[in-house]
Amino acid sequence: MPLGGDPGRHARQAAEEKVSVVNLGPTELIIILLIVMLLFGAARLPKLARSLGESAKEFRNAQSAISGTGGPQENK
């Protein structure tokens, strides 16, 4: 065993810390949703959600095109 211990230990710890940063509970999600509703108004939320979904779909399509996996791509 090397003097420094497990060489991959620090990478695994960093990966675990990144996951814990994104981990949101239901209370936090409700608070975020309320703040978004206050900022944008209830009438604009469907349009905002639709554009966010379309952006995510375009991002996934571009990502699969770059990686060459040939994932689902929509022809318009």
Distance from the first to the final alpha carbon of the chain: 57
Contacts of 32 (CB under 8 A, 6+ apart): 24
In a domain, 13, yes or no: yes
Residue 33 has a pLDDT of 87
In a domain, 72, yes or no: no
In a domain, 73, yes or no: no
> DSSP secondary structure string, 39-52?
HH-TTTHHHHHHHH
Residue 8 has a pLDDT of 64
CATH of the domain at 35: 1.20.5
The predicted-structure confidence for 2-53, as pLDDT tens digits, reads as follows 555 666 666 666 655 555 566 888 899 899 989 988 988 888 888 988 999 9
Q: In this structure, what token pair is assigned to residue 64?
A: 């699969």
Judged against a pLDDT cut of 70, whether residue 61 lies above it is answered with yes
In a domain, 32, yes or no: yes
Q: Which residue has better confidence, 20 or 57?
A: 57
Place of tokens 């940063």: 21
Q: Cα–Cα distance between 52 and 76 in angstroms, integer?
A: 18
Q: Report how many domains make up the chain.
A: 1
